[in-house]
Structure 1
């Protein structure tokens, strides 16, 4: 697999007063896609809850390039841009693409894993996390740190 792609439908509630997608919706679409990707790779919400861990974000940034309006066909492509050797830190990049495959926005986030019982960073990183994060499709400029 080279990337995770998801078609999205723009809803009336996603629009701002200028009739294009409001900024926070990009973050919501990215979060939903990440949960779906982790689930598809076997790292379900049940697995996380049972094992007392979950992803947390240090940084999330969206760069807007082109307006997205209601009625447009848009897809989101997600790839791993950076990953630590033990999968403890990672960067995921989402591209919001129109039907001409032009980038409308780029959502980039840096994250890690939280032990939900101690509320501290997870250490060591369980094998299932390492396997899932390593199987993520990579960007062309992917860096293993």
Structure 2
């Protein structure tokens, strides 16, 4: 098990709602950006995925809000793999949004899969990509 990948964000004026809180949709956008950052940091940017003929598809997301986040605060999103099928074709990633004070602001669970873009079907990823997800498994990672 490895340490979770982390990405930081500053909450900008266009990230907040009329109440001055981080907008609900922005939590999902931060989670997606952090997930992409995890792939890029692991050597799997968009070009590498395209070269292999693979893409990630999102099958569903769930967000649980825990604490408020306000304008100009710094947040950090930690990404961990919490579920994989035996062939790693389908995955579940937990993205935890932390406030400046270290408290959890929200937890986003994303369920996704790898798709072979030529065949247009869910399939096991290339060995190198599979290894990246295997290495990012959390301690409580379950078999999907």
Whether contact under 8 Å (1:43, 1:132) holds in the other structure is: no
Q: Does the 8 Å CA contact 1:42/1:132 hold for their aligned counterparts?
A: no
Match of 2:67 in 1: 66
Q: Secondary structure at the match of 1:57?
A: strand
Please state how far the C-alpha of 1:102 moved relative to its aligned partner: 1.2
SS of 2:33's equivalent in the other structure is helix
The number of residues matched between the two structures is 143
SS at match of 1:132: helix
Distance 1:90 1:137 in 2: 10
Which residue is 2:42 aligned to? Answer: 41
Aligned residues of 2:34 and 2:78 also touching (Cα < 8 A)? no
Once superposed, which parts of structure 1, at least 4 consecutive aligned residues long, lie more than 6 Å away? none
Residue 59 of structure 1, CA deviation: 0.9
Corresponding residue SS for 1:50: helix
1:119 Cα deviation after fit: 2.1
In structure 1, distance between residues paired with 2:59 and 2:6: 24
Distance 1:118 1:13 in 2: 39
Note if 1:53 corresponds to 2:39.
Answer: no
In structure 1, the residue matched to 2:130 is 130
Q: Which residue of 2 aligns with 1:105?
A: 106
CA distance in 2, matches of 1:43, 1:73: 26
Runs of 5+ unmatched residues, structure 1: none
Q: TM-score, normalised by structure 1?
A: 0.91
Gaps of 5+ in 2: none
How far did 1:130 drift? Answer: 1.1
SS at match of 2:89: coil
CA drift at 1:137 = 4.5
Measured on the aligned residues, the alpha-carbon RMSD in Å equals 1.5
Contact map agreement 1:2 1:137 (CA 8 A) in 2: no
What TM-score, normalized to structure 2? 0.91
